Structure 1
Amino acid sequence: MHGIVIRNTGNSYIVRTDDGQEVECKVKGNFRLRGIRSTSPVAVGDGVTVNMPPSGTGDNRGGYGTDVFFITEIDERRNYIVRKASNLSKQSHILAANIDLAVLVVTMARPETSTTFIDRFLASAEAYRVPVVLAFNKVDDFTAEEREKAGYLMALYTDVGYRCYAISALTGQGLEELLSDMNGKTGLLAGHSGVGKSTLLNRLVPEAHARTAEISEAHGTGMHTTTFSELYDLPGTSGGAIIDIPGIKGFGTFNMEPTEVAHYFRDIFRLSAGCRFNNCTHTHEPGCAVLEALEAHRLAPSRYASYLSMLDDKEEGKYRAAF
């Protein structure tokens, strides 16, 4: 049978088959040895082939339903979002696959989403051909200073080439425009814990009943309320769906060579066409159009700082302290 992975619980997967069934699936141990350097070889959004083991083998009993199937093949992915695994730096962590649109939820405070995190997410999405929009959440709770900062960042990322939305998951402000952008698409909901992803999911998919939690007063950070990844159908859309994933603390880039990093910063890549040398690293070379733009305030210092931080990712562990 063929289907799509709609839930990853860590120990097993729920697959919605092409005929509408939902079946619990596992992955055989030898499946993990096919050169897949990932903490989990299967991601929500993957198209997969599943088979039931022969009766009497002892492998066909599960907790979700009466039988457990095994995933035997993964369809070729159109794209995926991947980051460096937080505790196994030589491996990847695939967050979701076959995404039409990633919605990165950011907040100005309580908790604050750093521009470093935003830029790393955007660069990784560029590398794997995943379109991204930015949703600036909690506008109903902005101070005057936070409103000014959000306005600056929205103008910055709009100029870079990303659509930005000012939203309130709590009140519903701005969600109609965002939902219109997601119509008929498989979207990914991403961001730090505490930025309001669960509240937003409950707005978009009321039957999801996602748990929400208060922000830590001591640290201004969110608590993990989503513990696994899951795909939900978007009501009122033409085949739209949303993949909700646990909150991301840091975003270490995976399998990205230093010479490639500038290609995934749209603004830096555009500017690099004017560099004197084709192999310019944009760090010290004479005739570097990127450095000239930075000096002339035509390139945001935060974007350049993020670029430099990603060049340093080859040094193990440095990315973990960047957020």
Structure 2
Amino acid sequence: ICVNKVDLTGLDAAKRIFGLYETIGYEVIYTSAEEGQGIDALRDLLTDRVTVVTGPSGVGKSSLINRIDPRLSLQVGDLRDFQQKGKHTTRAAQLFRMPFGEKTYIADTPGIRELGLYDIDPIDLQFYFVEMQEFLHDCRYSGCTHDHEPECAVRAAVERGEINAERYESYIKLLHGEE
């Protein structure tokens, strides 16, 4: 996970928000395309991989790629003042070969305005939340959705603080098609 624009929030604030993902096993890199912070670490991570850069409009995806490889000079836009949202400057996905590593490619994509589940059965959603894995087999019912069923080990883990409550709420919203 790459968190950009930490120059706007401060590194400590960004870590308070995204540190949760580090605790459940994801690697998080904190960057500022504007100031160059974290770019070397990001470049090291991307070397000899094919990477798709995706995220909401206005988070600085193209700016990050420009910082990684300035010869590209990808068009970037300003945030719209009245909404503080990005406009779609990148209109189509493009794949670029990077000048480092033998097989380093980065795909720049248009911003995501809405995220939903496609072709994921609701009962399978639980498998996309890594922090739930160790509790799934301890639920009383094999088809437990971890929403309302009695003796649910996942909900009990949330109550004990072993699963982050915000992540659990995201799971529930996705389960019900609300997010």
Taking structure 2 as the reference length, what is the TM-score of the superposition? Answer: 0.93
The aligned residue for residue 102 of structure 2 is: 238
In structure 1, stretches of 5+ residues that fail to align are 1-133
Alpha-carbon distance, 1:148 to partner: 4.3
Matched, 1:184 2:48: yes
RMSD: 1.5
The aligned residue for residue 280 of structure 1 is: 144
Contact 1:233 1:242 in 2 (8 A): yes
Trace 1:7-156 onto structure 2 (pairs within 5 A).
134-142=1-9, 147-156=11-20
Q: Give the number of equivalent residue pairs.
A: 179
Give the match's secondary structure for 2:169: helix
Give the match's secondary structure for 1:200: helix
Higher helix share goes to which structure? 2
Alpha-carbon distance, 1:288 to partner: 1.0
Alpha-carbon distance, 1:273 to partner: 2.8
Within 2, Cα distance between the matches of 1:218 and 1:300?
33
Trace 1:135-284 onto structure 2 (pairs within 5 A).
135-142=2-9, 147-284=11-148
Alpha-carbon distance, 1:205 to partner: 2.1
Q: Which has the larger radius of gyration?
A: 1
Give the match's secondary structure for 1:243: strand
Higher strand share goes to which structure? 1
Within 1, Cα distance between the matches of 2:16 and 2:36?
22
Alpha-carbon distance, 1:196 to partner: 0.7
Give the match's secondary structure for 1:293: helix
Within 1, Cα distance between the matches of 2:134 and 2:16?
21
Give the match's secondary structure for 1:154: helix
Matched, 1:307 2:167: no
CA shift in 2, pair 1:160/1:247, >3 Å? same
Give the aligned residue type for 1:199.
Answer: S
Contact 1:213 1:225 in 2 (8 A): yes
The aligned residue for residue 28 of structure 1 is: none
Alpha-carbon distance, 1:301 to partner: 1.8
The aligned residue for residue 57 of structure 1 is: none
Contact 1:205 1:232 in 2 (8 A): no
Matched, 1:295 2:162: no
In structure 2, stretches of 5+ residues that fail to align are none
Contact 1:205 1:233 in 2 (8 A): no
Give CA-to-partner distance per residue, 1:262-299, whole Å, 9 cap, x none. Answer: 01111122222322222211112222111111112221
Identity %: 33
Alpha-carbon distance, 1:305 to partner: 1.3
Alpha-carbon distance, 1:155 to partner: 2.1
Within 1, Cα distance between the matches of 2:56 and 2:2?
12
